[in-house]
Amino acid sequence: DGGVYVRSYTNLVEDDPFTGGCSSQIHHCCCNTRRNVAADISKEVKQILKELRFLTKSMKDKDEEYLVISDWKFAAMVIDRFCLIGLTLYTILTTCILFLSAPHVIVP
C-alpha cells in the first residue's frame, strides 16, 4: 500500500461530479429528487412564461387602446374646431344681416 492511492475505475459514473452517480444502471435516491426538482423548476418556468405572455399581451392591448383613444380625441378636436369656426361665422353673418335689415338703424 505504502500510502499510494489507487483509484478504482470499475464504476466511473459514481465518481462523476456532474451526474452525481446517476446512470441508467445505477439509481440513487438523488436521481428522483433531481428529477422532481427539475420538474418543479420546469413548471415554475412555464408559469413565469405564461405570466410574462399575459403581461406583454395586456401591455400591447393597452398601447393599442391608447392609440385608438388618441385618434378619437384628435378627430373630436378637429370636429370641435370646425364647429367653433362655423358657429362663429354664423353668429357674425346673422348679426350683420340683422343690423343691415333693421329699418331704424340706417336713416336715409
Distance CA 35, CA 32 (A): 5
Q: What are phi and psi of 59, to 5 degrees?
A: -70, -40
Task: Check residue 59 and give its pLDDT.
Answer: 96
DSSP state of 20: T
What would the mean pLDDT of 56-84 be, rounded to a whole number? Answer: 97
Please tell me the predicted confidence (pLDDT) of residue 11: 47
**Phi and psi, residue 43, nearest 5°:** -65, -40
Look-up: residue for cell 346673422?
A: 94
CA 25 remoteness from chain centre? 47
In this prediction, residue 101 carries a pLDDT of 85
Q: What is residue 58's predicted lDDT score, i.e. its pLDDT?
A: 95
pTM, full prediction: 0.48
Mean pLDDT over 50-55 rounds to 95
pLDDT (mean) for 34-53: 85
DSSP, res 22: -
AA identity, residue 52: L
Q: Please state, for a pLDDT cut of 90, what percent of the chain lies above it.
A: 48
Asked if residue 5 has pLDDT above 70, the reply is no
**55 close to 47: Cβ distance less than 8 angstroms:** no
Listed in sequence order, the residues at least 6 apart from 31 whose beta carbon sits closer than 8 Å to its beta carbon are: 20, 22
